[in-house]
Amino acid sequence: MKRVIYLATARRDLRQLRAYLTEASRSPNVSRNFLLRIRSYCDHLASLPFEMGRERPELAPNLRSAVFEDYVIFFRYIEDRFAVVNIVEGHRDMTGYFLK
């Protein structure tokens, strides 16, 4: 199993997501549970013996993506690591987000 790491950009996204979900739901439990599920999904992707996700060379070299509910998880396989790069709401302009 590849080791999951969260780059600084992904950690920032998770903090922002937690704040948004806590405010929107008025419940820290809702945001905590969602973040546990999204991290569990990243663990699952990393555990698979093959590369998952859609290749995204139009956004960045070696970038891949997978959908989790209304969010897109962007990641790279780096040797024995599964590196989560960003977690972005699915309705966003991904090209604009990565090329800003």
DSSP letters for 23-72 = HHHT-HHHHHHHHHHHHHHHHHHHHSSS--SEE-TTTSTT-EEEEETTEE
pLDDT one-digit tens code per residue, 22-78: 999 999 999 999 999 999 999 999 999 888 999 999 999 999 999 999 999 999 999
Looking at residue 55, its pLDDT comes to 96
Q: Which domain holds residue 79?
A: 3-98
**What pLDDT was estimated at residue 100?**
67
Confidence class for position 99, pLDDT limits 50, 70, 90: confident
- Our count of domains for the chain comes to 1
Q: What pLDDT score does 88 carry?
A: 95
Whichever domain contains 11, its CATH number is: 3.30.2310.20
- The pTM of this model reads 0.92
